């Protein structure tokens, strides 16, 4: 059987095509903003002449006020440094949501996060001149790295940077801290080491702690506490950055509705009180949250709760008049300009914010004017520079914006009274808001060419492979794959790659990756097309003769329908219900085809299982009723009932499966026991986390060993190893899902078994005995893939970034502390999110082989059937991912593009990758275990 490994190679080839096209799409779609390396400069006041020009030749004398007015109203003049520098303490409390800071004495039974920071309200009441509290609106993405970048640069970091959250890179743009550092200011850093990695070498003293692996709530905070009061007493610094992580970690670990959150907030309260007491009266204190958190304690998306952070400003010697009023929304982009102004520096070059006057010390009108004009001049300069560097914003818009800012600068000279000043401040704010809105609109710069190319490549791959699986008669497949088709394909791909690299070497090409993807994709399209043309007679004959049954036709349209509704945001939000509805209908039609009581009973059981998974389905914020009813998953410990269910489901699966799988059963039992012990020992307050983690490691060891042992040949056919592989993947995914959600994994497995049992009963017209073509019908495989997609939701996930649970990455200890195990956490996360597509993909061969002695059909046609099924399964996922890519393209300016469509695309790509890997794994296992000798015909 020459074709045996050619099947696997072809599957790998197909996976490469789909994934490369997806990568290409991602490159075009998830582009980041253009970052300019410009740096703001300012000129000391003494270098200006009285006409408001630098190094002016006029020698007339004038007062400083006069001079500043001239400078401020001259759009051509450079920025002038303001004189008064204040010392600033910048205390970042990660995930400080606005309602954490509010104090309402009328609440009788406050929630764990309510009324825990009374010091803020007390200070606001007792010293209204010295304290300010506002809502501090973060822009999505609300992840810490992006927020820190936004706070120091005043710009809008884009979505694609999310991926670099765990390996912070040096900031390329100008920032407030750079401004201060260049001017000889001294900065002290305490806390999270993201800062140190983002801006290395800027610190006078840095007490940074690696933050991500300290999953506990206190280490970083205690470290900061031990240093901060000493530092406050010193006066050799100009800016002190203190980053507290405890609240954020408490949110991630337990959610806001937990006593731990109360404890962390109380700590913060005491800390704040002490700091306010020890703070010298001329030092500015900013206490702010970089983002909020959802009701489950996660963040990353753009929901109101995640975006609404708090900012609290305090200065013992008083601040400017509060023209905003407590509780007003201010954008986070304003912070960089404000911080720079307090440190007597111009705003950093990429800043798009304006000054938050009420949080700055009192200043004379002229100095305020100077700062405002600095702000406007910097924005104008940025607009001009950005227009030079990039064509993102249309020229008319830019000109209009520049004219607006210039007009404002001109008006500065006529401002004298307090009232006029306030109006002027409001005008400047409106102008910057306009600028920011326009940039926010266009800042997601799509590379439409590569997006369209990627869509084309996906179309090519899907269309021709669909023709191959649905058209070419099953009897011909072994011969095709025994021929030189696959090797020709691989050689031509290699030629393409070599050609591209040669062209790249001679600098004929710029983007070699893009070129490789494009050329290999087109070449494979050509090859598959020629294959289709060569077998056109077989395809037409099969289509002409074959009349597919109702359930097949319906299931195809159901799959296409489930892909097509990805264009609508409401269907994406309710996708769990949609998928279970569709898969139940397909199975109902299959049962209708079988028409026996047993089939009906199986169908009802399947429906009941799917209905039971509804308990585990989570809610996303868009699902109003469900969300407010608190139907969202708890992130913390499993309840007692959940633990019992988890142990019971695992024990039941293992006990039932053990008898039928021979010696491999011992391995599965061992893995299951380890998993159960891991949950039981780690449960509750009496549990021992250390031992529990050790047990989890034991379980993983057994699972990996068993997976390797699957490749031991025992000559008893492929059914056993494939089902053992499925069982092992089940144990693995319930292990990562944790005790609270493990029963969902068991339900998923049960649903799969019921579906297999029902599918095995399908009759075909005129054929009484078993027929492979009935088994390979598209209804089976569509059902299988829809079920795999559904179980993503059934296991409590949702296609939002805020919904990703990070805890599973650490259930077996923190792998990042062990060298060489860096990627284990990534693998765990992948398994947790996409374990079910992987499981269902690996068990696809069972659909063809289940419930039948292997002797009725020769190994060649068995293998061909398995291959056809695996390819169809991959194809189903490719179709779905194509649809979500298409909908992301269509909706790229939609209101919910970052909230709904892009996360859907990301998660769909992930499950597509998992399904492809799973299908390859299953097919490889089958090929490995299928006996090679051929029956004489």
Partner 1 sequence: MFTLNNQLEMKKITVSSLISCIYLPSIVTVISYKGLLYTVGNGSSFYILVLIFVAEILKAFYLSESNNEAQQKRSKPGKSRASDIVKSFIFLLCVMFCFFVGIILFGAPVLESHEETLMLSALLTLLTVFPLIAHAGVETSMQLLFGVKSYTKDSIFEMLVNNSILTVCGAWLGAVVIPLDWNTPWQQWPIPCYLGALGGYLLSNATNCRRTCLGTCRLRVAATSRSVLRRRTRLYSDIYVSQNRFRVLARETELPATSV
Contact flags string 633-672 toward partner 1, x per CB under 8 A:
----------------------------------------
Strands (E), 169-268: 187-192, 205-209, 239-244
Q: Which is nearer to partner 1, 545 or 765 (CB)?
A: 545
Whole-angstrom Cα distance, residue 216 to residue 813?
12
Residue 614, SS3? Answer: coil
Structure tokens that stand for 468 in this block: 């191959």
Whole-angstrom Cα distance, residue 504 to residue 517?
14
Going by C-beta distance under 8 Å and a sequence separation of 6 or more, which residues neighbour residue 622?
A: 573, 899, 900
User: Does residue 44 contact residue 21 with C-beta atoms inside 8 Å?
Assistant: no
Going by C-beta distance under 8 Å and a sequence separation of 6 or more, which residues neighbour residue 917?
A: 15, 838, 841
Q: Which stretch binds partner 1 (CB under 8 A): 75-83, 220-228, 444-452, 563-571?
A: 563-571
Q: Which is nearer to partner 1, 71 or 786 (CB)?
A: 786
Going by C-beta distance under 8 Å and a sequence separation of 6 or more, which residues neighbour residue 915?
A: 785, 788, 837, 838, 840, 841, 873, 874, 876, 877
Report in angstroms how near the CB of residue 559 gets to partner 1 at its nearest. Answer: 16
Q: Which is nearer to partner 1, 440 or 595 (CB)?
A: 595
Interface residue with partner 1, options 409, 457, 578, 848 (CB under 8 A): 578
Phi then psi for residue 633, to 5 deg, are -70, 140
Structure tokens that stand for 151 in this block: 């706070």
Contact flags string 698-727 toward partner 1, x per CB under 8 A:
------------------------------
- Whether the CA torsion 82, 88, 91, 96 is positive or negative: it is negative
User: Does residue 391 contact residue 48 with C-beta atoms inside 8 Å?
Assistant: no
* Chain centroid to CA 165: 10
Residue owning tokens 């021979």 = 662
- Whether the CA torsion 445, 449, 451, 452 is positive or negative: it is positive
Report in angstroms how near the CB of residue 113 gets to partner 1 at its nearest. Answer: 30
Report in angstroms how near the CB of residue 570 gets to partner 1 at its nearest. Answer: 4
Q: Strand pairing partners for 191?
A: 208, 243
Q: Which is nearer to partner 1, 15 or 549 (CB)?
A: 549
Contact flags string 609-628 toward partner 1, x per CB under 8 A:
-xx--x-------x------
Q: Which stretch binds partner 1 (CB under 8 A): 126-134, 157-165, 469-477, 562-570?
A: 562-570
Structure tokens that stand for 750 in this block: 């049960």
Q: Which is nearer to partner 1, 585 or 639 (CB)?
A: 585
Q: Which stretch binds partner 1 (CB under 8 A): 43-51, 572-580, 763-771, 859-867?
A: 572-580
Report in angstroms how near the CB of residue 607 gets to partner 1 at its nearest. Answer: 3
Residue owning tokens 């992006």 = 146
Listed residue (101, 147, 118, 89) closest to 311, CA to CA: 101
Whole-angstrom Cα distance, residue 746 to residue 613?
10
Listed residue (477, 239, 237) closest to 335, CA to CA: 239
User: Does residue 177 contact residue 335 with C-beta atoms inside 8 Å?
Assistant: no
Report in angstroms how near the CB of residue 589 gets to partner 1 at its nearest. Answer: 11
Q: Which run of H or E residues covers position 158?
A: none
Asked if 568 interacts with partner 1 (CB under 8 A), we say yes
Listed residue (866, 17, 839, 762) closest to 469, CA to CA: 866
Q: Which stretch binds partner 1 (CB under 8 A): 54-62, 565-573, 657-665, 917-925?
A: 565-573
Whole-angstrom Cα distance, residue 486 to residue 465?
14
Interface residue with partner 1, options 607, 665, 687, 858 (CB under 8 A): 607
Report in angstroms how near the CB of residue 545 gets to partner 1 at its nearest. Answer: 7
Interface residue with partner 1, options 170, 236, 545, 765 (CB under 8 A): 545
Structure tokens that stand for 259 in this block: 């006593």
Report in angstroms how near the CB of residue 12 gets to partner 1 at its nearest. Answer: 36
Report in angstroms how near the CB of residue 328 gets to partner 1 at its nearest. Answer: 30
Interface residue with partner 1, options 277, 544, 765, 853 (CB under 8 A): 544
Q: Which is nearer to partner 1, 18 or 786 (CB)?
A: 786
Asked if 63 interacts with partner 1 (CB under 8 A), we say no
Report in angstroms how near the CB of residue 608 gets to partner 1 at its nearest. Answer: 7
Asked if 479 interacts with partner 1 (CB under 8 A), we say no
Whole-angstrom Cα distance, residue 201 to residue 549?
70
Interface residue with partner 1, options 180, 584, 696, 923 (CB under 8 A): 584
Q: Which stretch binds partner 1 (CB under 8 A): 117-125, 512-520, 604-612, 730-738?
A: 604-612
Contact flags string 483-522 toward partner 1, x per CB under 8 A:
----------------------------------------
Report in angstroms how near the CB of residue 604 gets to partner 1 at its nearest. Answer: 7
Q: How many residues does the chain have?
A: 937
- Whether the CA torsion 177, 182, 188, 191 is positive or negative: it is positive
Report in angstroms how near the CB of residue 580 gets to partner 1 at its nearest. Answer: 6
Q: HEC profile for 773-793?
A: HHHCCHHHHHHHHHHHHHHHH
Q: Which is nearer to partner 1, 172 or 570 (CB)?
A: 570
Asked if 585 interacts with partner 1 (CB under 8 A), we say yes
* Chain centroid to CA 877: 20
Interface residue with partner 1, options 569, 777, 785, 909 (CB under 8 A): 569
Report in angstroms how near the CB of residue 577 gets to partner 1 at its nearest. Answer: 5
Interface residue with partner 1, options 446, 501, 581, 898 (CB under 8 A): 581
Q: Strand pairing partners for 314?
A: 131, 285
Q: Which stretch binds partner 1 (CB under 8 A): 1-9, 246-254, 400-408, 608-616?
A: 608-616
Interface residue with partner 1, options 428, 573, 741, 844 (CB under 8 A): 573
Asked if 437 interacts with partner 1 (CB under 8 A), we say no
Q: Which stretch binds partner 1 (CB under 8 A): 308-316, 537-545, 709-717, 790-798?
A: 537-545
Q: Return the residues of window 356-395 that contact partner 1 according to CB under 8 A.
A: none
Q: Which is nearer to partner 1, 578 or 739 (CB)?
A: 578
Asked if 595 interacts with partner 1 (CB under 8 A), we say yes
Burial of residue 419 (number of CB atoms within 10 Å: 0-12, 13-18, 19+): exposed
| Site residue total, partner 1 (CB under 8 A) | 23
Angstrom CA distances, 193 to 144, 207, 208, 210, 214, stand at 12, 8, 5, 5, 12
Interface residue with partner 1, options 142, 176, 519, 580 (CB under 8 A): 580
Asked if 84 interacts with partner 1 (CB under 8 A), we say no
Asked if 608 interacts with partner 1 (CB under 8 A), we say yes
Asked if 850 interacts with partner 1 (CB under 8 A), we say no
Whole-angstrom Cα distance, residue 590 to residue 790?
19
First to last CA, the chain: 14
Which residues sit at the interface with partner 1, rule CB under 8 A? 541, 544-545, 568-571, 573-574, 577-578, 580-581, 584-585, 595, 604, 607-608, 610-611, 614, 622
């Amino acid at each position: 059987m020459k074709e045996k490994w050619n099947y696997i190679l072809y599957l790998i080839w197909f996976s490469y095509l789909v994934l490369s096209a997806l990568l290409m799409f991602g490159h075009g779609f998830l582009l980041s903003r253009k970052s300019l390396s410009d740096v703001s400069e300012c000129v000391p006041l003494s270098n200006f002449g009285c006409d408001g020009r630098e190094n002016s030749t006029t020698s007339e004398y004038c007062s400083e006020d006069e001079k500043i007015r001239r400078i401020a109203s001259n759009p051509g003049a450079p920025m002038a440094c303001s004189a008064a520098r204040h010392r600033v303490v910048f205390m970042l409390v990660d995930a400080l949501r606005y309602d954490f800071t509010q104090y309402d004495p009328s609440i009788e039974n406050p929630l764990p996060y309510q009324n825990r920071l009374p010091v803020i309200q007390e200070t606001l009441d007792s010293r209204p001149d010295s304290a300010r509290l506002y809502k501090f609106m973060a822009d999505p993405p609300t992840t810490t790295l992006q927020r820190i970048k936004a706070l120091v640069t005043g710009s809008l970091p884009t979505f694609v940077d999310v991926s670099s959250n765990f390996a912070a890179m040096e900031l390329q743009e100008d920032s407030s801290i750079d401004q201060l550092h260049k001017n000889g200011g001294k900065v002290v850093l305490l806390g999270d080491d993201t800062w140190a990695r983002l801006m290395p070498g800027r610190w006078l003293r840095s007490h940074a702690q690696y933050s991500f692996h300290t999953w506990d709530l206190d280490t970083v905070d205690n470290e900061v506490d031990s240093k901060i009061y000493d530092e406050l007493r010193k006066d050799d610094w100009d800016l002190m950055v203190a980053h507290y992580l405890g609240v954020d970690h408490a949110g991630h670990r337990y959610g806001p509705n937990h006593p731990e959150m109360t404890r962390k907030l109380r700590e913060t309260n005491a800390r704040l009180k002490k700091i306010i007491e020890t703070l010298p009266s001329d030092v500015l204190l900013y206490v702010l949250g970089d983002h909020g958190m959802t009701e489950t304690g996660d963040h990353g998306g753009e929901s109101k709760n995640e975006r609404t952070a708090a900012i609290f400003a305090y200065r013992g010697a008083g601040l400017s008049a509060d023209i905003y009023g407590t509780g007003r929304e201010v954008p986070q982009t304003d912070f960089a300009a404000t911080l720079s102004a307090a440190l007597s520096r111009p705003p950093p070059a990429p800043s798009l914010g304006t000054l938050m006057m009420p949080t700055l010390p009192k200043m004379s009108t002229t100095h305020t004017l100077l700062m405002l004009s600095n702000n406007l001049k910097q924005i104008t300069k940025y607009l001009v520079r950005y227009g030079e560097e990039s064509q993102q914003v249309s020229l008319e818009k830019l000109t209009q914006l520049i004219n607006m800012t210039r007009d404002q600068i001109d008006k500065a000279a006529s401002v004298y009274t307090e009232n006029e000043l306030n109006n002027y401040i409001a005008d400047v704010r409106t102008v910057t808001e306009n600028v920011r809105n326009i940039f926010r609109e266009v800042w997601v710069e799509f590379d439409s060419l590569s997006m369209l190319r990627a869509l084309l490549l996906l179309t090519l791959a899907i269309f021709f492979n669909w023709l191959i699986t649905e058209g070419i008669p099953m009897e011909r497949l072994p011969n095709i794959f025994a021929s030189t088709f696959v090797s020709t394909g691989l050689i031509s791909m290699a030629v393409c790659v070599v050609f591209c690299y040669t062209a790249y070497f001679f600098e004929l090409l710029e983007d070699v990756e893009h070129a490789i993807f494009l050329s290999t994709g087109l070449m494979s399209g050509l090859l598959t097309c020629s294959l289709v043309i060569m077998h056109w007679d077989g395809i037409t004959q099969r289509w002409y003769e074959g009349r597919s049954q109702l359930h097949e036709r319906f299931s195809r349209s159901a799959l296409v329908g489930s892909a097509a509704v990805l264009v609508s945001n409401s269907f994406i939000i309710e996708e769990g219900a949609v998928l279970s509805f569709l898969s139940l209908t397909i199975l109902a039609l299959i049962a209708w085809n079988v028409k026996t009581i047993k089939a009906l009973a199986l169908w009802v059981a399947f429906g009941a299982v799917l209905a039971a998974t509804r308990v585990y389905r989570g809610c996303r914020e868009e699902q109003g009723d469900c969300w407010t009813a608190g139907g969202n998953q708890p992130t913390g410990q499993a309840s007692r009932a959940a633990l019992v269910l988890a142990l019971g489901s695992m024990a039941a699966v293992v006990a039932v499966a053990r008898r039928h799988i021979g010696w491999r059963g011992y391995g599965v039992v061992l893995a299951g026991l380890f998993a159960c012990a891991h949950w039981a020992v780690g449960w509750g307050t009496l549990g021992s986390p250390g031992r529990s983690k050790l047990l989890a490691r034991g379980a993983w060891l057994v699972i990996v060993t068993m997976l390797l042992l699957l490749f031991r040949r025992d000559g008893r056919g492929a059914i056993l190893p494939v089902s053992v592989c499925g069982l092992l993947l089940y144990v693995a995914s319930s292990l990562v899902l944790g005790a609270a959600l493990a029963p969902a994994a068991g339900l998923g497995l049960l649903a799969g078994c019921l579906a297999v049992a029902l599918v095995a009963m399908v009759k075909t017209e005129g054929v009484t005995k078993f027929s492979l073509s009935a088994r390979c019908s598209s209804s089976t495989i569509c059902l299988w893939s829809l079920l795999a997609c559904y179980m993503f939701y059934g296991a409590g996930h949702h296609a939002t970034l805020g919904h990703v649970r990070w805890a599973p990455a650490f259930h077996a200890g923190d792998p990042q502390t062990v060298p060489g195990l860096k990627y284990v956490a990534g693998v765990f996360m992948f398994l947790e999110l996409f374990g079910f597509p992987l499981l269902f993909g690996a068990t696809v061969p069972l659909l063809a082989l289940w419930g039948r002695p292997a002797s009725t059909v020769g190994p060649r046609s068995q293998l061909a059937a398995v291959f056809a099924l695996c390819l169809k399964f991959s194809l189903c996922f490719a179709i779905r991912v194509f649809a979500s890519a298409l909908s992301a393209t269509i909706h790229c300016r939609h209101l919910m593009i970052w909230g709904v469509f892009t996360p859907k695309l990301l998660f769909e790509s992930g499950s597509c990758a998992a399904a492809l890997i799973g299908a390859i794994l299953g097919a490889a296992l089958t090929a490995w275990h299928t006996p090679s000798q051929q029956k004489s015909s």
